[in-house]
Structures are given as structure tokens and as C-alpha cells.
Structure 1
């Protein structure tokens, strides 16, 4: 199984408390995901729900126009105001391990997303990654950077 890595970093001018409060709410993920993915959290959470190790989050997504699917992740690790990890339990990937790191810096918070993912189906999966999956994943994470800057500003 071929594993791919994507890393994105950005700094925003808010406190660690504000950053953690926003990013530890499962419902806020839809606010930083491109509209064309039709991302909807289907878990029964509220705006005040915060992540914890063992938390299961379910979604409906449309990664390709007209193709809807269910996705389930588990929050496997949480170190308050430092990092958390979500891992796919059911969905389109053979592996999805997404680390979210937060570091206090002068004037705000530096965030790092580190994603390891793999596509099922062997050679066909590697071809799919080359043809469209890699660019789609990059597009989603690039969109997130812009959406986060629009919400909080940029350092």
C-alpha cells in the first residue's frame, strides 16, 4: 500500500484558547471545507461539543459531483491546546491519519496539518491518486488555509 503525505502550515493572529475552541468543535469543519464537497456532519453534536479521545464523528460527503458517501472518523489522540488526531474508521481511504498541531507563537498560533493517506485498490488506487485524488486533497487543504485566513486573519 502506497502512503502519501500532505503537510500544510499557517499562522493566525488569535489566542491558543480561541484556536482550540474553534478547531476542537466538529461542526466547525464544515466552515472550512469547500462547498462543492457538500460536507455535512451527521453525528448528533451541538456547537458546544468538543473533541475527546475516542469520539466518533460521522459525515456525508460528495468528493465527486453526484457521488455521495458516508465517512466516519475517530478522534484517537488529544493533548489539550497542543494537538489532536483523527483517523478514518469508514470511508474512501485505505488509510487516513490526520494530525492537527497548535503552537503558541508571538502574536498568535502556528498550526500544522500533517496528513498520511492511502488509496485502496493497489495499482488502480495509485493511478487514481495521480490523476485526481492528490489534487483534490491538496485543493481541500489549500481551501482550508484561505477559509481560516478569512475567518481569523493572517500573521
Structure 2
């Protein structure tokens, strides 16, 4: 069971929103993780420096919180076998490619801009997620 943390969740969401606003304000760019990451893959884009800083911050910030605040790392365990996780990641990557962006780009930034394409993409993401959970848990016996 997941612990209910409304204040931490609100603060985290506000920080994600602030980061998205600042990236748009200072660089005119959308804070979609796959788009940012793709600019770090060869051939490198001409704006790779801010992309590298953004990704480094996404990796280093949680580690710093654990070190500075003395918080414990969030334990992670998955009942899903590793090959299935890899296959799922590949399927998501294909969806990101054909959907023209990921959940962070469409769901956070696109919805905030009232982009019709992002609204449609986010509705499809959410419906697909709900359908997948239903099928896996109720029709296939769940994990």
C-alpha cells in the first residue's frame, strides 16, 4: 500500500510546475524528459549544456535530499520480471516517438498551455493506463 502524502505531493507538483515555467521562461523550451534526453544522444544538439544540467539535476537532486535531510531512499521492488519491465519500457518509448512527446511534456507543459494535441495525448495516456491496470489486475490475475 502506498503511503498518503498530500503535502509532500503538493510541494513536489509545485516544484515540477515551477521548473517547467522557468525552463520555458529562460530557454523557451518544454520540460519533456524524452525531448530533453534525446538532445543528449548523438548527434548532440547545439543546446546540449542546459539539457545535461537538467538531466543531472533530476538525478542528483534526490540524492542530495537523501544526504542532506537524512531521508531514507524509497525502497523499490517490483513483482514484474525484469524482461517484462524492459519490454514495457520499449513499448513506452515507441509510444513516445509516435505520440510526439512523453507524459511530462504533454501532461505537465502541454496541458498548462491548453494544447489540444497535449490534451488528447494525456487523455489517451490516462485511458491506456487505466485499461492496462484493469486487464492486468482483474483479467490476468494481477501481480
TM-score normalized by the length of structure 2: 0.30
**Using CA pairs below 8 Å that are at least 6 residues apart, which structure has the higher relative contact order?**
1
TM-score normalized by the length of structure 1: 0.29
